[in-house]
Amino acid sequence: MDSIIVRGNGELNGQIPIAGAKNACLTLMPATLLSEEPLTLTNAPRLSDIRTMTELLSSLGAEVSTLQDGKVLAMSSHNLDNHVADYDIVRKMRASNLVLGPMLARLGQAVVSLPGGCAIGTRPMDLHEKGLMALGAEIELKEGYLHAKVPGGLKGAVIDLDFPSVGATENIMMAATLAKGTTVLNNAAREPEIVDLATCLRSMGAQIDGDGTSRIEIQGVDRLHGATHPVVTDRIELGTYMLAPAICGGEVECLGGSISLVGSFCEKLDAAGIHVEETANGLKVARRGGRVKAVDVVTEPFPGFPTDLQAQMMALMCTAEGTSVLEEKIFENRFMHAPELMRMGANIEVHGGTATVHGVERLKGAPVMATDLRASVSLILAAMAAEGETIVNRVYHLDRGYERVEEKLGNLGAHIERVQS
């Protein structure tokens, strides 16, 4: 199992390219199931989760080819011959459940295992089920699998989500594109990944309005056609690498970044004393000098502060001047990185969904263990500003969401290397 060794080395400077969004790409890939014609995605990230989704789509009979060193995904679902998403694949990744809506719309039936992924909370499927059942699906849970069918075909409906779930919004949107009549989705998620999916579906012939707002309207069509679509910039990778100079000092330009993707996050950086400005090529981030100031954070659905940047923000707050309070309102088990940061000398108190961080002058290197995807990169960020050497173990989580981390950070001046243990 690989580990990453990091040696604290002062300021970071230079440019860092931001990849296409993992969460967007994992949503766009199942959209190929909606049409017999090819769907091509450009600006795709090169990650293990993308390989897992490729494996899942292939198991259903889709054809997926990777081109241009993995940055282009050419897909075709003209010959689907299986409607069962098997546990052995689905257990690896939460986003696997996004084949449910497209298969119901295209095939009228689907059997999908309950999904896996990072151990950061329960993340149930109930909102997905309720939405699809409102469209006419019959769904039954048997032996860990959702057995779904649509005897009379999907029909448009008014659906009120109890929570603006990103996954449920995506599954319902995809299914509704081929439903008879109009679907209105209220309290819909507003994330950039939702807008990216809607843009792709429109390029395939879907009729969708209101994406990016809490009310999305989908007018069903008889069929969708092929398309080529660029994956939106990964706002979580963007925010993560914006924190590198914030934690270590220096000035870094994140190529492809936009404040529109990380507005609430930028507000917190500004309050902490971090300078962010838009450039012709992306976002430039610099620490203004001295220690950063402590700021409080509450995770919320977009456009609020992203839960996927909470662990990385905690790493910044570990050496901030003052005390910060981070409240996690999305997932109930997302402070597992706190004990690992404490091994490096951080002063953190966790009570339920709230973590109180008392800033210290400096962290010290130590052996630590990555507990999930975002926790793993937060430990790397902290280690780059720590005194001495840090060994981050169990970094297979990292490869699910960040491509070529050692290369990207190394080009900024970080002392970071991967070793096989």
- pLDDT for res 123: 45
pLDDT tens digits along 382-406 = 999 999 999 999 988 898 889 999 9
In terms of domains, do 402 and 284 share one?
yes
Average pLDDT over residues 204-223: 98
Q: Rounded mean pLDDT of 185-197?
A: 98
Q: What are the binding residues for UDP-N-acetyl-alpha-D-glucosamine?
A: 94, 123-127, 308, 330
Same domain for 190 and 156 = yes
Please report which confidence band the pLDDT of residue 181 belongs to, taking 50, 70 and 90 as the band edges. Answer: very high
- Which of 25, 118, 254, 318 is an active site residue? 118
Confidence of residue 371 (pLDDT cuts 50, 70, 90): confident
Q: Where are the alpha helices (DSSP H) in 14-125?
A: 22-28, 48-59, 87-90, 100-107
What is the C-alpha to C-alpha distance for residues 165 and 152, in angstroms, rounded to an integer?
Answer: 27
Q: Name the pTM for this structure.
A: 0.93
Same domain? For 217 and 250 the reply is no
Asked if the model's pLDDT at residue 118 lies above 80, the reply is no
At 235-276, the pLDDT tens digits run 999 999 999 999 999 999 999 999 999 999 999 999 999 999
Each residue's pLDDT tens digit, 11-21: 999 999 999 99
Q: What are phi and psi of 338, to 5 degrees?
A: -60, -50
- Mean per-residue pLDDT of the chain: 94
Q: Which two tokens stand for residue 98?
A: 């996004």
Domain boundary among 181, 213, 230: 230
Look up the domain containing 273 and give its range.
Answer: 2-19+233-420
Q: Give the residue-averaged pLDDT of 41-50.
A: 95
Same domain, yes or no, for 298 and 415? yes
Give residue 330's pLDDT band: very low, low, confident or very high (50, 70, 90). confident
The DSSP call for residue 163 is S
What's the average model confidence in pLDDT over 221-233? 98
Domain check: are 341 and 250 in the same one? yes
- Residue 120 has a pLDDT of 38
Q: Residues within the annotated binding site for phosphoenolpyruvate?
A: 22-23
Annotate 348-415 with three-state secondary structure.
EEEECCEEEEECCCCCECCEEECCCHHHHHHHHHHHHCCECEEEEECCCCHHHCCCCHHHHHHCCCCE
pLDDT number for residue 421:
67
Q: Which of 193, 212, 230 is the last residue of a domain?
A: 230
Query: In the prediction, which pLDDT does 94 show?
Result: 79
pLDDT at 122 over 60: no
What is the pLDDT at residue 333? 66
Binding residues: 22-23, 94, 123-127, 308, 330
Question: Within this chain, do residues 168 and 34 fall inside the same structural domain, yes or no?
Answer: yes
- pLDDT value, residue 1: 78
Same domain, 218 and 245: no
Q: Are residue 8 and residue 57 in the same domain, yes or no?
A: no
Same domain, 159 and 287: no
- Same domain? For 211 and 328 the reply is no
Per-residue pLDDT, 119: 42
- Same domain? For 339 and 295 the reply is yes
DSSP SS3 for 281: coil
State whether 181 and 241 are in the same domain. Answer: no
Total domains present in the chain: 2
Which CATH number is 405's domain given?
3.65.10.10
200 classed as catalytic? no
